[in-house]
A and B are shown apart, each in its own frame.
Chain A
Amino acid sequence: MSKQRVKFTFPQDLITIPVIYELGKEFSIITNIRRADVTEDRGWVILELEGELPEIERGLAWVATQGVRVDPVQGDILAG
């Protein structure tokens, strides 16, 4: 089992969609929210995902196709 800590950033039109619920339901991934900030026009959620690595990768790819931005929790790693 692997764990990954990620940040989801939601655009306004996805704020009301239960993306995290669907992620846990459709994939063998345990989701655990640690911090979040949602306003009327955008939202972000920092969470931990636990599961087999290929399943997490598949799940994150699906989240991205829904229009949610997925980032490592520590921000960009690629530096100048």
Chain B
Amino acid sequence: MSSPGFATALRCRECHRESAMEPIYVCDFCFGPLEVAYDYEALRKVVTRESIERGPASIWRYADLLPCDREYAVDIQAGFTPLIKADRLGKELGLNHLYLKNDCANPTWSFKDRVVTVAATKAREFGFTTLACASTGNLANSVSAHAARAGMDAFVFIPNDLEQGKIIGSAVYGATLIAVDGSYDDVNRLCSELAGKYPWAFVNVNMRPYYAEGSKTLGYEVAEQLGWRAPDHCVAPMASGSLYVKILKGLEEFAKLWLIDSVQTKMSGAQATGCSPIVTAWKSETQDIRPVVPKTIAKSLAIGNPADGYYALEAMARTGGYGVAVDDDEIVAGIELLAQTEGIFAETAGGVVTASLKRLAEQGRLARDEVTVAFITGAGLKTQEAVAGVLEPPLHVQPTITSFEEALGARNTVAAASAQ
């Protein structure tokens, strides 16, 4: 008999009716999205800073705050990634207390390992033998790896024009990959129908309420790594909006459990101009999110119809955060700036966050002495094509010192000329 710990029910985010913890994703009554509810009174008696610090160096140190039975954990050591004080980038942007949460350090090199470890665990607890997802990259990699670890089958649906590198990053784990002809909307529609027909654990469909809970561990970790306090300002990327909302939920749950003081964190959200339905609504001061057709190099953020967009807007308004959208050139420059100041090679979503940090700092919306945390959610080796065309090619030299010094001199001359 499994025990989901302190999770008590699934609660509708619209009508607040409660449902049993089953593999469902919308309220039977109003079709509103479901969220896991917890017994915080009971949690308060059990969870302490010390009990957490005694746990493993992964998201499973917060197992009591997750909706699964840890006995079933499908664990490839997701989470507890580094929080780095970014002095060089901070100096560049005029920020004295800038930190980077480096989720490139996850086992499949993106934050998706946090959500998939929870979804896979819950799927195993429910008795599913197949994990499935539709993805342009990071989620596919993580689902494939976790399925392998659990000995489950994996079906991964991808757009038919996906780059070879991303296909290999899933296929290597033995997943069955299905390339779908058609637009992103066609892939969404097909997978929605498949999720209703096959007895699979579709991680972000029938496992979605559990899956989404994995993201709140980013909020927990940041608070713990800052010495048990909430940051003053967070800057996070927004695709569906779920990650952004759950970071705040993580901080607020810690406050509710008396692990940190009250949360006064401003939550700012970053999108690419080519797919910015949440930021567009924020700028228009409306709660009405209009779906868009994505057109950006930041494919990991290319969700035209964001499921949690409304809730992201609500969090942005409630905390006094800002919405920022940056174009593809700024994204590339952001990737370079982050790599060249802090030694972190991020994928395009990291470029979006870094460029947005820069924009917010220039606008005076990030105060110099605020403790600011930027979330870098995936590694750059997955999207090398984004920067390949703009980086300096290697110097080609003969194996002589003369040749080396000539080549170096020539480059320095060009660099000096272009700097003038």
Q: Which residues of A contact B (CB under 8 A)?
A: 2-5, 9, 34-35, 39, 42, 46, 48, 53, 57, 60, 69-80
Question: B291 contacts the other chain (Cβ, under 8 Å)?
Answer: yes
Contact B31 A48 (CB under 8 A): yes
Which of A34, A69, A70, A76 is B31 in contact with, Cβ under 8 Å?
A34
State which of B56-64, B261-269, B295-303 sits at the interface with chain A: B295-303
A80-B193 CB under 8 A given contacts A5-B26, A35-B31, A72-B188: no
B251-293 residues at the A interface, CB under 8 angstroms:
288, 290-291
Please determine whether B139 and A79 come into contact, CB atoms closer than 8 angstroms: yes
Q: Which 7 A-B pairs have the closest CB atoms?
A: A75-B307, A80-B300, A72-B192, A78-B134, A79-B139, A34-B31, A77-B191
- Name the CB-closest residue of B to A33: B31
A-B contact pairs, 15 of them (CB 8 A): A35-B14, A74-B25, A74-B26, A74-B307, A75-B303, A75-B308, A75-B309, A77-B134, A78-B188, A78-B303, A79-B133, A79-B139, A79-B240, A80-B135, A80-B378
B323 is an interface residue with CB less than 8 A from chain A: no
Contact (Cβ within 8 A) B30 A78: no
A60 to B192, CA, bound (A): 13
Which residues of the other chain, A, contact B184 by a CB distance below 8 angstroms? 76, 78
Q: Is the CB of B196 within 8 A of A80?
A: no
A45→B378 CA distance, assembly (Å): 35
- B231 within 8 Å of A by Cβ? no
Q: Contact: B205 with A74, CB < 8 Å? A: yes
Q: Which bracket fits the contact residues of B?
A: 35 or more
Q: How far is the CA of A39 from the CA of B287 in the complex (A)?
A: 12
Which A residue's beta carbon lies closest to that of B28? A34
**Contact residue among A39, A69, A71, A73 (Cβ-Cβ distance under 8 Å from B26):** A73
Contacts of B188 in A (CB 8 A): 71-72, 76-78
The answer to whether A78 and B192 have CB atoms under 8 Å apart is no
In B165-212, the 8 Å CB interface with A consists of 184-185, 187-189, 191-193, 195-197, 202, 204-205, 208
- CB <8 Å contact, A80 and B306: no
Given contacts A9-B291, A35-B30, A74-B208, contact A80 B303 (CB under 8 A): yes
On chain A, the residues within 8 Å of B202 by CB distance are: 77
Q: Does B159 contact A (CB under 8 A)?
A: yes
Q: With a CB–CB cut-off of 8 A, which chain B residues contact A73? A: 26, 31
The interface residues of chain A lying within 8 Å CB-to-CB of B334 are none
Query: Are B196 and A3 in contact, with the CB atoms below 8 A?
Result: yes
Task: Tell me if B304 counts as interface (CB < 8 A to partner A).
Answer: yes
User: B308 contacts which chain A residues (CB < 8 A)?
Assistant: 75
For the complex, give the distance between the alpha carbons of A47 and B195 in Å. 17
Q: Is the CB of A4 within 8 A of B196?
A: yes
Cβ < 8 Å to A, chain B residues 349-381: 349, 378
Q: Does B137 contact A (CB under 8 A)?
A: yes
Min CB distance A46 to B, Å, is 5
B136 within 8 A of A: yes
Residue of A nearest to B309 (CB): A75
B305 located at the interface, meaning its Cβ lies under 8 Å from any Cβ of chain A in the complex = yes
Contacts of A42 in B (CB 8 A): 288, 290
**What residues of chain A lie closer than 8 Å to B291, measured between beta carbons?**
9, 69, 71
Smallest beta-carbon distance A49→chain B, Å: 11
How far, in whole Å, are A27 and B157 apart by their CA atoms in the complex?
30
A3 to B25 Cα, complex, angstroms: 15
Decide if B135 touches A74 in the complex (CB within 8 Å): no
Chain B's nearest CB lies how many Å from the CB of A34? 5
Residues of B within 8 A of A9 (CB): 290-291
- Residues of A contacting B192 in the complex (Cβ-Cβ under 8 angstroms): 4, 72, 74, 77
CA distance A70 to B193 in the complex (A): 13
